[in-house]
């Protein structure tokens, strides 16, 4: 409290508020309101709060939000041209557009499917494989 001439005025540190009696301070539950900014979980602490994540998620550098590996393009190595990234709890999955498949060595890049290996069956039928598709002819 600050001693004034004939009176006094009490103030509180950050994370605390003055009680109704105007003489003591109490902890503010920052998690009770919408202003904490935590994306998933908020835990009140004395004079502050902490954000945390669900299992298999990780906090981003701001300490409040979780990492979306696809949106952040941080650790995902999905094919940026013929592929897509899907965020999953704590990880991500890569997939490919029609006519492409994930690399046969278990990689995350997309490679062209050679449709001529499985279509255009028959005598005197020619197959031309193209990026992402094929044509059959006589």
The string of pLDDT tens digits covering residues 28-68 is 999 998 888 888 889 999 999 998 887 667 777 777 777 77
Domain spanning 69-137, CATH architecture: Ribbon (2.10)
The pLDDT-based confidence of 119 (bands split at 50, 70, 90) is low
Burial of residue 108, with CB atoms counted within 10 A of its CB: 0-12 exposed, 13-18 middle, 19 or more buried: middle
CATH topology of 2-52 equal to that of 69-137?
A: yes
The pLDDT-based confidence of 121 (bands split at 50, 70, 90) is low
Task: Check residue 28 and give its pLDDT.
Answer: 94
Q: Which of 24, 20, 57, 28 is nearest to 41 (CA)?
A: 57
Q: What is the mean pLDDT of residues 107-115?
A: 85
The pLDDT-based confidence of 25 (bands split at 50, 70, 90) is very high
Where exactly are the structural domains of the chain? 2-52, 69-137
Q: What is the mean pLDDT of residues 8-34?
A: 91
Task: Check residue 75 and give its pLDDT.
Answer: 58
Burial of residue 78, with CB atoms counted within 10 A of its CB: 0-12 exposed, 13-18 middle, 19 or more buried: buried
The string of pLDDT tens digits covering residues 58-99 is 777 777 777 777 776 555 688 989 999 888 777 788 999 988
What pTM, to 2 d.p., does this model score? 0.48
Residue 124: pLDDT above 60? no
User: Which class is domain 2-52?
Assistant: mainly beta
Q: What is the mean pLDDT of residues 22-32?
A: 92
- How many helices (H) and strands (E) in the chain? 1, 12
Q: Which of 130, 40, 41, 56 is nearest to 88 (CA)?
A: 56
């Amino acid at each position: 409290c600050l001693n004034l001439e004939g009176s006094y005025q009490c103030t509180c540190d950050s994370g605390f508020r003055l009680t109704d009696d105007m003489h003591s301070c109490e902890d503010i539950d920052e998690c009770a309101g919408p202003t904490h900014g935590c994306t998933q979980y908020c835990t009140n602490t004395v004079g502050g709060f902490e954000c945390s994540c669900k299992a298999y998620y990780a906090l981003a550098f701001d300490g409040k939000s979780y990492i979306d590996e696809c949106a952040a393009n941080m650790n995902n190595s999905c094919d940026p041209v013929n592929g897509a990234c899907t965020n999953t709890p704590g990880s991500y999955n890569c997939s490919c557009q029609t006519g492409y498949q994930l690399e046969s060595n278990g990689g995350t890049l997309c490679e062209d499917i050679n449709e001529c290996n499985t279509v255009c069956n028959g005598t005197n039928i020619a197959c031309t494989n193209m990026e992402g598709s094929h044509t059959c002819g006589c």
